[in-house]
Amino acid sequence: MDLLNTLVAKGLRRELPTRDEALAVLSTSDDDLLDVVAAAGKVRRQWFGRRVKLNYLVNLKSGLCPEDCSYCSQRLGADTGILKYTWLKPEDASKAASAGVAGGAKRVCLVASGRGPTDRDIDRVARTIEAIKEENAEVEVCACLGLLSDGQAERLRDAGVYAYSNNLNTSEATYADITTTHTYQDRVDTVRRTQEAGMSACSGLIAGMGESDEDLVDVVFALRGLDVDSVPVNFLIPFEGTPLAKEWNLTPQRALRILAMVRFVHPDAEVRLAGGREIHLRSLQPLALHLANSIFLGDYLTSEGQEGRADLDMITDAGFEVEGVETSTLPEHRRGGGCGPCGGDGAAADEGPTADEGPAAARTDLVAVRRRGAGTDLPPNA
């Protein structure tokens, strides 16, 4: 297929595809799916070999959020039955982080619900990082605390935060349909503050919220424009009790096409297979490792994931290897911020193809509220 040959050549040169090419990936047929995966896999292997980076989430504060993000089980007024608790003690967070590291995680992601941290919250996180580093000095620490104000990124950097995560989630055109309590620009500003402070920028998307192909391409191109180092690709977990509970728009095949498109647009960035992979990819998860070079191990913030041992077996059985702390994730040209000169900006988009039809039946049985790990007396999944 000429399209795939072109995209592989561009990916190996770190050249940006055109918008039409990105849209065309999303509209390929199921008959061509394995060819699409194989092509994007060539790009993935060029920059990351067969390594898979493991990341582990620690939910420092669950629920109790004043924001109204429609996709979120922690949103204002949501009745989702999730665990709700205020800030974990540093020693409890460190214990949870150690379980992830013992399972093979190279990065620990510290997450707290809310609009953004107060100065007191920054102090809490600093003490937590100190406790984590006492037990696991080499682990990368990523923080995801919401929107940052002036000076907070620098304080987090000084406390030992390597990366800061703040997802754009969806296109600027549709952002107000998903969230009204803050803006798309607020999130862009936080990504830029992260980069200006010298931290690694992590920002991604949520697919399956009813968006069009054009919306998906818009947000993925916006992330390329911001030159983020890692791109988490989440697939909507339709929690009962949220406005998007009935949005079951994804098939495993469409999820793979979305991941392939992200890889072609971000050839040398860390593409992370994130929330919802078990629900929407299901038995095709191993194929996604040919596209993404990073996954979350075990459970998510408020939902349970695949068992940690099963994650490790999946990586091994698919012919991949867990990335160790002695190996730098990003290619050398990206270390220290930015990929340097890359390809062109791409062409303007025309009318694009429509999204795939959704599955025949919603698999609500696959959504499991987290009842173990941080905030409970039960051992974590790692």
Residues annotated as catalytic (active site), given as ranges = 65, 69, 72, 109, 142, 202, 272
Q: What are the start-end ranges of the E strands in 173-298?
A: 200-202, 205-207, 230-235, 270-273, 294-296
Q: At what angle do helices 19-26 and 252-265 cross, to 10 degrees?
A: 160
CB 370 within 8 A of CB 304: yes
For residue 297, the SS3 value is coil
What is the rounded distance in angstroms from the CA atom of residue 45 to the CA atom of residue 34? Answer: 16
What is the rounded distance in angstroms from the CA atom of residue 223 to the CA atom of residue 265? Answer: 9
What is the rounded distance in angstroms from the CA atom of residue 225 to the CA atom of residue 230? Answer: 13
Q: How many other C-beta atoms are found inside a 10 Å radius of the C-beta of residue 339? A: 17
| Bridging pattern class, strands 107-112 and 200-202 | unpaired
Closest to 214 in 3D by CA, of 3, 7, 23, 357: 23
Written as six digits, the tokens of 66 are: 């004043």
Q: At what angle do helices 2-12 and 252-265 cross, to 10 degrees?
A: 50
Degrees to nearest 5, angle at CA 229 with 225 and 233: 85
| Burial of residue 325, with CB atoms counted within 10 A of its CB: 0-12 exposed, 13-18 middle, 19 or more buried | middle
DSSP state of 37: H
